[in-house]
Amino acid sequence: MIKKGCATFLVGEEVEDGAPRRFTVPVELLVHPRIMELLAEAEEKYGYAHEGAIVLPCGVERFQKAVDEARAQERHRGHQHHHHHHFSLPQLVGCFRPAHFVV
């Protein structure tokens, strides 16, 4: 079951058994530049018209590093004053079919 406020990703085209790994990431991390880069690559390769989890055409290590960077930035931001993003999360969510996000 997908947690509320999270997006599900399938990652790892080059995994040993051929099956990608499934990850759940809080939607607030999706505005991080590294994750945005991965989403842009997915859009370029697959487009937005597919059902289910968002498939990312990258390795698990690259994805995990992007998520770790986003989490570290989010923790750091929590220790400072509140910043507003110039990027609107609804713009990103609108790019994917509703089945891709549970908000």
Asked if 57 and 40 touch (Cβ cutoff 8 Å), the reply is: no
Residue-wise pLDDT tens digits, 47-77: 877 677 888 989 999 999 999 999 999 888 7
Domains of the chain by residue range: 6-97
Tokens, residue 9: 């990703």
| pTM of the complete model beyond 0.85 | no
pLDDT of residue 98: 41
Q: Is the per-residue pLDDT at 20 higher than 70?
A: yes
> What DSSP line would sit under 54-92, residue for residue?
EEE-S-HHHHHHHHHHHHHHHHHHHTS-----SS-HHHH
Amino acid in the structure at residue 23: F
Query: Can you tell me which residue has the tokens 């992007």?
Result: 66
